[in-house]
Structure 1
Amino acid sequence: MSQTPLHVANNMEEEQRKRKAIESLSETKAKVDEFEAAISGMVGLDDLKMQLRSWARGMLNDEKRRAFGFDIAPRRLPHMAFLGNPGTGKTMVAGVLSKFLHMMGILSTDKVTEVQRTDLVGESVGHTGPKTRLKISEAEGGILFVDEAYRLIPMQKTVDKDYGLEALEEIMSAMDSGKVVVIFAGYSEPMKRVIKSNEGFCKKVTTFFYFDDFSATELAQILHFKMNNQDPNSSLYGFKLHPSCSIPAIAELIDSEITEKQRRGMNGGLIDPQLANARQSLDLRIDLDCTDTDVDELVTLTMEDLGVGLRLLTR
């Protein structure tokens, strides 16, 4: 039985719709693949990477469902909490996320506006609201990254009014505007104060990411990565590591010079000052009479320099 012109037109329209859907999905998948490549390049954080991949693929699958005609609920803006010790990469991940959300069209920019309590809270009545709203306005279209968010909620009730809770309420009210994604960051345990302080927190903050501490080996990998991928503006630009400075050797050095408590308190934050101190050690060690110096030694950090760099941190 031959098809009527109407049937033919409908079939052509359906085929065209499917073709456009497949093209759109292909573009989205490329963006997800780019995001996954970016997080794969980060040292450690294996559990976090799995969480991020699951979250990103969920967005891709939602688009696939809609492309094939399923009427599903839209995802709300992904407000998040980043929980972990200092130096575990929370700010870095926020930057990667902002680029991904911008690529996906969820955010109009990829900027991250980082704030702390002092940026939000005023010292007297009537100052906190305008101060907080100004920062929210600056962050519109991108991510508002509230670092050490638990500092907005005092550990104990004080006689004088604390305005941190007012700042938090301003931020919470802005989370429904659809104009900004908010990330609350801080230590896992103190962040419970923030969660308990506002009934709507867990309704609006739907995604919790946990950042584990780095091992000594992972810190050694970060050090190697920094030395092999130097920013031209870095004070270490043009310097290199001696061949003896292998990842296992540096990991062993970190284990011997830094206590677990010190490592957990700094994590990746110890690498830059260690390298800065190591360069100072190199400058003190080099003979000022360059005639007897191997020219390559002028820009080569040794295990001795790295050891001095760590010991200066823990004095």
Structure 2
Amino acid sequence: MRIQDKYKAKTKPSSAAGGEGNTNPTPAPVVSIHACVESGDLTGVQRLITQDPSSLNQRSVFLIQTPLHVAAGHNRIDILKFLLEWKGSVTLELEANNVYGETPLHEAAKNGFTDAVATLLQHGANIEARTNNSMTPLHLAVGYALTSGDNSVVKTLYEYKADFSAEDDEGMIPFNYLPSGVENDELRLLCQIVEEPKDYEEECGMKGKMDEFNLELSKIVGLDELKAQLRKWAKGMLLDEKRRAMGVDLGPRKAPHMAFLGNPGTGKTTVARILGKLLCSLGVLSSERVTEVQRSDLVGEFLGQTGPKTRKKIEEAMGGILFVDEAYRLTPTDSGNSIEYGVEALEEIMSVLEDGDLLVIFAGYTEPMRRVFSSNAGFCRRVTHFFQFDDFSCRELAEMAMIKMSERDERSRLFGFRLGSCCGVEAVASVIERKTSEAMRSRMNGGLVDHMLNNARESLDCRLSFEAKGDELLTIKLGDLEAGLDHLVRRLNLDEVKV
């Protein structure tokens, strides 16, 4: 046979590949090993690992998880056993850490999967493995038990001799995470195997409140200096409660009135809600409710209307927090447009700052807020805590986008949608930096992320045809995010022209 004939014989299409004359058969869609594990497709997992043994420890894009993490976190016991018992050329990473420092055992424990926990321990998983914040699987199992009422994982870890005295970064042992009065006697007995001092319940209550406060702060992206300042302040408040319990007379509890300084979208309202929970738990406030008001909610159109209008809002907020947004709009400016009404509203608020069961937070841009400080002689005497909220960096905005897309809030327009594999933190941060100006990011901060994601979904709809199906209907790509930011920039430019 001639060389030319051999070549033709090799390249001739077969009928099985798509019929005679079909030289471009449609390739089968590529399915990731993580998707196979999550869906419970054992056959698919076996095929992929046999074809490429390195996929045994392949990492996912965002959470840096291995297939073993996914199997443990979704209770895929048959796949879990297959991975643990794999005898191929590649060795399974039993103690692999994801982006949070969690091992597969952490994943199983925090999701309450007793069978997966037991299977991993039977195959030698480290029961005392630590996350980035030094939590053991037992810490996470206690957290799951508190929310679900299911103590089975805690009992399993107890049977495997887990260390109930292990401390995390905050010095908290698993028992510390049990709120006082928790209605789960079995869980409390399990966790109390560590001998505690007589005054432990009181100390646990203090530490528990501090830990809950820290947990809420940890959900906020960035703002590290602010968080450190708030933690220092909160710890002082908690220690004062302990001093009072010792009989020290510190005078009556007074609400610590505050000023939040920074640009819009930097988390001021979110932090106010976290503070409301803490102060309510300490008895400083009777409610954790936050009542948000602006100038239009307080100032009347005509003489004599502002006082009653402001007092009504104060009465609504009593017991909780009155959050005065853009508070500088209540003070005089060079324009002099009916500004005396704003001053009247501010004076009404200042008059109740000594009354007790009300915390007032004045919020706004840093420089204009200086007018508020100087407009009332008693302002800086009554408002004693000042917190600066810095702008978010491009990377922090990208991290915020990842969190919003992973929360899966059913009320969100983005529920069910996901970011494509190309949309890593660095890639999204780069797009934000290229497509937006520093002035625009400073003006919007977290609000920019919401607009970008919602516009990206609309870009996805424009890009797809009616023949689209499957994952492509739900996957937002990097180009969609770019288009979303382009649309936002054009709209803002138009708004500025109108002004």
Distance 2:337 2:404 in 1: 48
- Given that 1:150 and 1:190 are in contact with CA atoms closer than 8 Å, whether structure 2 keeps it comes out as yes
Q: Find the counterpart in structure 1 of residue 384 from structure 2.
A: 206
Q: Find the counterpart in structure 1 of residue 262 from structure 2.
A: 84
Instruction: Tell me which amino acid in the other structure corresponds to 1:262.
Output: M
- Given that 2:414 and 2:454 are in contact with CA atoms closer than 8 Å, whether structure 1 keeps it comes out as yes
Q: Find the counterpart in structure 1 of residue 120 from structure 2.
A: none
Alignment of 1:64-83 (within 5 A): 64-83=242-261
Distance 1:159 1:244 in 2: 52
- Change beyond 3 A, Cα 1:160–1:119: closer
Higher mean alpha-carbon deviation, 131-140 vs 27-36, is at: 27-36
Q: Find the counterpart in structure 2 of residue 155 from structure 1.
A: 333
Q: Find the counterpart in structure 2 of residue 221 from structure 1.
A: 399
Q: For residue 22 of structure 1, report the CA deviation from its aligned partner.
A: 4.8
Task: Flag structure 1 segments of 5+ consecutive residues without an equivalent.
Answer: 1-17
Higher mean alpha-carbon deviation, 70-79 vs 267-276, is at: 70-79
Residue 36, structure 1, aligned to residue 214, structure 2 = yes
Instruction: Tell me which amino acid in the other structure corresponds to 2:303.
Output: V
Residue 258, structure 1, aligned to residue 436, structure 2 = yes
Distance 2:309 2:249 in 1: 41
Distance 1:161 1:251 in 2: 42
Distance 1:281 1:204 in 2: 50
- Given that 2:332 and 2:339 are in contact with CA atoms closer than 8 Å, whether structure 1 keeps it comes out as no
Residue 473 of structure 2, aligned match among 281, 289, 298: 298
- Given that 1:25 and 1:60 are in contact with CA atoms closer than 8 Å, whether structure 2 keeps it comes out as no
- Change beyond 3 A, Cα 1:309–1:48: same
Instruction: Tell me which amino acid in the other structure corresponds to 2:483.
Output: V
* Aligned Cα root-mean-square deviation (Å): 1.6
- Change beyond 3 A, Cα 1:285–1:161: closer
User: With structure 1 as the length reference, what TM-score do the two structures score?
Assistant: 0.90
- Given that 1:275 and 1:306 are in contact with CA atoms closer than 8 Å, whether structure 2 keeps it comes out as yes
Distance 1:79 1:195 in 2: 13
Distance 1:69 1:97 in 2: 26
Q: Find the counterpart in structure 1 of residue 170 from structure 2.
A: none
- Matched position secondary structure for 1:209: strand
Distance 1:245 1:257 in 2: 15
Instruction: Tell me which amino acid in the other structure corresponds to 1:198.
Output: N
Instruction: Tell me which amino acid in the other structure corresponds to 1:72.
Output: L
> Residue by residue, what CA displacement relative to the aligned partner does 1:92-149 show, whole Å, maximum 9, x if unpaired?
1111111111122221111110000000001111100000000000001110000000
- Change beyond 3 A, Cα 1:283–1:132: same
Alignment of 1:56-205 (within 5 A): 56-156=234-334, 158=336, 162-205=340-383
Q: For residue 276 of structure 1, report the CA deviation from its aligned partner.
A: 0.9
Residue 310, structure 1, aligned to residue 310, structure 2 = no
- Matched position secondary structure for 2:367: coil
- Given that 1:25 and 1:63 are in contact with CA atoms closer than 8 Å, whether structure 2 keeps it comes out as no
User: With structure 2 as the length reference, what TM-score do the two structures score?
Assistant: 0.57
Distance 2:453 2:332 in 1: 36
> Residue by residue, what CA displacement relative to the aligned partner does 1:198-255 show, whole Å, maximum 9, x if unpaired?
0100111110010000000000000000000132110000100001100000000001
- Change beyond 3 A, Cα 1:139–1:159: closer
Q: Find the counterpart in structure 1 of residue 426 from structure 2.
A: 248
Distance 1:66 1:182 in 2: 24
Instruction: Tell me which amino acid in the other structure corresponds to 1:65.
Output: R
Residue 46, structure 1, aligned to residue 224, structure 2 = yes
Distance 2:344 2:408 in 1: 42
Q: Find the counterpart in structure 1 of residue 81 from structure 2.
A: none
Distance 2:421 2:339 in 1: 58
Q: For residue 157 of structure 1, report the CA deviation from its aligned partner.
A: 6.0
Q: For residue 57 of structure 1, report the CA deviation from its aligned partner.
A: 0.3
Distance 2:347 2:460 in 1: 51
- Given that 2:330 and 2:339 are in contact with CA atoms closer than 8 Å, whether structure 1 keeps it comes out as no
- Matched position secondary structure for 1:174: coil
- Matched position secondary structure for 1:208: strand
- Matched position secondary structure for 1:262: helix
Instruction: Tell me which amino acid in the other structure corresponds to 2:393.
Output: S
Task: Flag structure 2 segments of 5+ consecutive residues without an equivalent.
Answer: 1-196, 491-499
> Residue by residue, what CA displacement relative to the aligned partner does 1:244-292 show, whole Å, maximum 9, x if unpaired?
10000000000100010111010001111111110000001111123xx
Q: Percent identity?
A: 56
Residue 204 of structure 2, aligned match among 26, 35, 44: 26
- The structure 1 segments of at least 4 consecutive aligned residues displaced by more than 6 Å after TM superposition are none
Q: For residue 161 of structure 1, report the CA deviation from its aligned partner.
A: 5.8
- Matched position secondary structure for 2:360: strand
Higher mean alpha-carbon deviation, 156-165 vs 58-67, is at: 156-165
> Residue by residue, what CA displacement relative to the aligned partner does 1:38-74 show, whole Å, maximum 9, x if unpaired?
1022100001000110011001211222333433344
- Change beyond 3 A, Cα 1:228–1:160: closer
Q: Paired residues, what number? A: 294
Which of these two proteins has the greater Rg computed from alpha carbons?
A: 2
